[in-house]
Amino acid sequence: MKIFFVNPGEYGEGKSYGPLISPHMGVAYMASYLKHHNHDVEVIEMPVYQMSYEDIIKRVKEFGTDVLAITARSFNILSADTLATLAKKEIPNIKIVLGGAHATALPRRTLQEFSSFDCLVVGYGEIPMLEFVQRLEKNPNATISQLCKNNLSFAFRDGSKIVENPIAPAISDLDGLPNPDYSMYDMSAFGRLYHPPTNKFHQEISMFASRGCPYLCTFCMAHGGEGIKRAYNNRSPANVVDEIEDIYEKTRIDNISFNDSTFGIKKEWFLDFCNELIKRGVQKKLHWSFETRANLAKVEILETAVKAGCKWIFFGFESGSEKVLKAIHKGITPNQIRSTVRAGRDAKVPYLSASFIVGMPGETRDTIAETASIIEEIKLDTAGINIAAMYPGTELYTMIQNEEGGIRWADPSYNYNWNIYDRKGAHIAVNDLEPIDLENYASKLRNIGINAAPDRRYGQISKSVSYMRYYFFKDRQKLWYHVKEGVKGYFPTDTGEPINPVSYESARSAPPTGRSLPPIKIK
């Protein structure tokens, strides 16, 4: 059978984010799994290849596609619908399957809202999708109901009725999955990531050493989301290192980013993994980065990671307020944040960064002041500041639907409005903080982080020059976007209208914009 995978949309997560720097890993694993089982597979990364919908449909026709498999999150679900609608018009008999986070979060609503998708695969889809394709191979004239009936993890229409099958058990032996086959991609088309330790732009490959997450942060659906259980499971250290070596040998890409929701949850596993890298000498060929939690990062672990070639560690701190941390079930404290950064410095981690989120349940001007205080105190190399986004499938989304924790939509029309998911501005209010307040406080926090960073003199100039040079030669569309946003910063207005904050990178050279707000009193 011939299966054509598409990650749709003109941009990754909005114009400010530019092209993707690595293949969509869910698609990469799924496509490679089907290819491993002797099916013909093609993959298009629309945000990277900059193809039109018409160009993609032309390729779909030329390939002789039996199944068009589309992935989508909430920010590109409308793009997925556009592609599927055009495919149905041009190739009436094609089978269209939607997967990804949006389908997993809202299977029933998605089928009700979008008639272009024949069916959805919910959660991890390797085994259910293989079953779907095998059924179609045996019976090319099979209906969607015949292909999906009793096929775990599928949701589909059976006449006027929507059927949601039980979710397939998680794959217990992750080592048994084939590695992503990057020969399916034009790797030269992907963007590059600025790497502060080297002050250069590197190509990057994302990897997963585990699936699921045992933690229950309200803003994340990595643990499964509503009604779905995704038990945490990891690959063996040797299997992960095998894939790293395979990537390097076949692509010569020397920058690996682990996109696990929480990397290295098990201490013994983490140390074994690092020692396996050292034993094979992999740390001499490439560098790697990962994201973890404040309660897991100890000096011994971080020192071993550095010896094994880790150059960059990212933490999800989210807030400096114990009140907010408790409200979002983060499971860490401000003191653990402080001790984690001290451990990172003691371990001589080359680059430490973390994210903070403005607008979480319980947020007030006082809690933002606590976050400002801790950002100034811990002096991260980069403090990324985001505004809370309400993604379906998370507890946070349920909370805003019920207006719990003081959070509410800034406008009722934003509810189930997929046009707003561009990660560029606030679409919520919390307590007495309106969207413009959240945007301006986020901008202030960015500048506090910039001024606190150890390299803020030479480092900021060097980084800015590197970015401008890279954007000029590689991505002038993004360069123009940042130039326009930067210019806006020099002409603040007092109209009271919401002002979109510049991205973190632009904030290095642009002052906060918008109306005057009460100063943040750092405690």
Calpha distance 114→118 (Å, rounded) = 9
> 24 — alpha (psi -120 to 50), left (phi > 0) or beta?
beta
Calpha distance 70→402 (Å, rounded) = 31
Residue 34: count of CB within 10 angstroms of its CB = 24
Calpha distance 493→294 (Å, rounded) = 39
End-to-end CA distance of the chain, in Å? 63
Contact in structure between 371 and 522 (CB atoms under 8 Å): no
pTM here?
0.87
Q: Helix, strand, or coil here: 155?
A: strand
Integer-rounded Cα radius of gyration of the chain = 23
Q: Helix, strand, or coil here: 25?
A: helix
Give Dmax over CA atoms of the chain in angstroms. 68
| Ranges of residues in the chain whose predicted pLDDT is under 50 | 225-227, 487-518, 522-523
Handedness of CA 133, 55, 183, 122 (dihedral sign): negative
40-45/193-195 β-pairing: unpaired
Calpha distance 261→514 (Å, rounded) = 34
470-500 pLDDT tens trace: 667 666 666 666 566 554 443 433 333 332 3
Which residues are CB-neighbours of 134 under 8 A, at least 6 positions away?
none
Question: Closest Cα to residue 301, out of 172, 501, 147, 293?
Answer: 293
Q: Phi and psi (nearest 5°) for 7?
A: -100, 105
Contact in structure between 203 and 474 (CB atoms under 8 Å): no
Q: Helix, strand, or coil here: 121?
A: strand
324-339 pLDDT tens trace: 999 999 999 999 999 9
Contact in structure between 191 and 21 (CB atoms under 8 Å): yes
Contact in structure between 387 and 359 (CB atoms under 8 Å): yes
